[in-house]
Chains A and B, each alone.
Chain A
Amino acid sequence: MTVFVIRRLLQAALVMIIMSLLVFGGVFLVGDPVEMLVADDADQAERQAIIKSMGLDLPFYMQYLRFIGNALQGDMGNSFVFQEPAMELILERMPATFELAIAALLIAVVIGIPLGIYAGLKADSWMSKTIMTASILGFSVPTFWVGIMMILFFAVILGWLPSTGRGDTVELFGIPVSFLTLDGLQHLILPAVNLALFKLSMVIRLARAGTREVVHQDYIKFARAKGLSTGRIIGVHLFKNIMIPVVTVLGLEFGGLIAFSVVTETVFAWPGMGKLLIDSIGFLDRPVIVAYLLFVVGLFVFINLVVDVLYSVLDPRVRLQEVKS
Chain B
Amino acid sequence: MKALRRLGLAAVAVSAMTTNVLAADIVIGIRSEPSSMDPYFHNLTPNNSMIGHVFERLVEFDSNQAIFGGAAESWKPVNDTTWEFKLREGIKFHDGSDLTVDDVIFSFERADNYEGGNSSFRTYTKGKKLVKVDDLTLHIVTEEPYPLMANDLTTVMIMSSEAKGTDSSGKNKGISAKDFNDGTATIGSGPYKFVEWKKGEEIVLEKYDGYTGKVAQPWDKVTFKFIKSEPARVAALLAGDVDAIDNVPTVDIERLKKDPRVTLSSGISNRVIYLHLDQFRDVSPFVTDKAGNPLTSNPLKDARVRKALSMMINREAIVERVMEGVAIPAGQLLPKGFFGVSPNLKPDPYDPAAAKKLLAEAGYPDGFALTAHGPNDRYINDAKILEAIGQLFTSNGIPTKVETMTKNVFFKRASSGADGQPEFSLVLVGWGSGTGEASSPLKSLLATHDKEKGMGASNRGRHSNPKMDALLNQALATVDDAKREKLLAEATDVGIGEDMGIIPLHYQVNTWATKKGIKYIPRTDERTTAFDFVPE
Contacts and interface: CB of A to CB of B under 8 A. Distances in A.
B56 to A, nearest CB: 21
Nearest to A89: B199
B178 A84 contact: yes
Interface in A41-60: 41-47, 49-50, 53
Contact of A159 (B123, B239, B407, B454): B239
A31 B232 contact: no
25 contacts: A32-B415, A35-B408, A35-B411, A39-B123, A40-B444, A45-B451, A46-B119, A46-B122, A84-B178, A93-B199, A93-B200, A152-B235, A155-B236, A155-B239, A159-B239, A162-B241, A163-B241, A164-B227, A164-B236, A269-B232, A269-B236, A271-B200, A271-B201, A279-B200, A283-B408
- Sorted from nearest, which 9 A-B pairs have the closest CB atoms? A43-B454, A271-B200, A32-B412, A155-B239, A271-B201, A39-B43, A35-B411, A31-B408, A39-B119
A17 interface: no
Contacts of A45: 451, 454
A183 interface: yes
B229 interface: yes
B52 interface: no
B444 A83 contact: no
Instruction: Identify the interface centre among A81, A269, A272: most chain B CB within 10 Å of its CB.
Output: A269
A164 B118 contact: no
A151 B29 CA distance: 15
B343 interface: no
A269 B408 CA distance: 22
A307 B159 CA distance: 54
A47 B454 CA distance: 10
A267 interface: yes
Contacts of A292: none
Contacts of B458: 40
B440 A41 contact: yes
A269 B120 contact: no
Given A269-B232, A279-B33, A40 B200 contact: no
Interface residues of A, number: 56
Nearest to B41: A83
Contacts of A155: 235-236, 239, 241
Nearest to B47: A39
Nearest to A30: B409
A80 B408 contact: no
A32, A41, A47, A155: which has the most chain B beta carbons within 10 Å? A41
Interface in A165-190: 165-166, 183
B451 A46 contact: no
B198 interface: yes
B227 A269 contact: yes
Contacts of B232: 147-148, 151, 163-164, 266-269
A183 B1 contact: yes
A196 interface: no
Contact of A30 (B44, B235, B408, B440): B408
B432 interface: yes
Interface string B195-235: 00011111000000000000000000000011111011001
A82 B228 contact: no
Contacts of A147: 232
Contacts, number: 156
Interface in B443-478: 444, 451, 454-455, 457-458
Given A40-B458, A148-B235, A267-B232, 11 more contacts: A30-B408, A31-B412, A37-B118, A37-B119, A39-B43, A39-B44, A44-B454, A156-B235, A163-B236, A269-B225, A269-B226
Contacts of B415: 32, 35
B272 to A, nearest CB: 12
Contacts of A162: 239, 241
A269 B229 contact: yes
A155 B240 CA distance: 8
A134 interface: no
B35 interface: yes
A183 B3 CA distance: 13
Contact of B457 (A47, A53, A80, A83): A47
Nearest to A38: B119
B36 A267 contact: no
A40 B120 contact: no
B200 A275 contact: yes
A10 B238 CA distance: 53
B275 interface: no
Contacts of B29: 164
A279 B241 contact: no
Nearest to B240: A159
Contacts of B240: 159
Contact of B408 (A47, A266, A284): A284
B227 A50 contact: no
B91 to A, nearest CB: 27
Interface string B25-53: 00001000101100001111000000000
A168 to B, nearest CB: 9
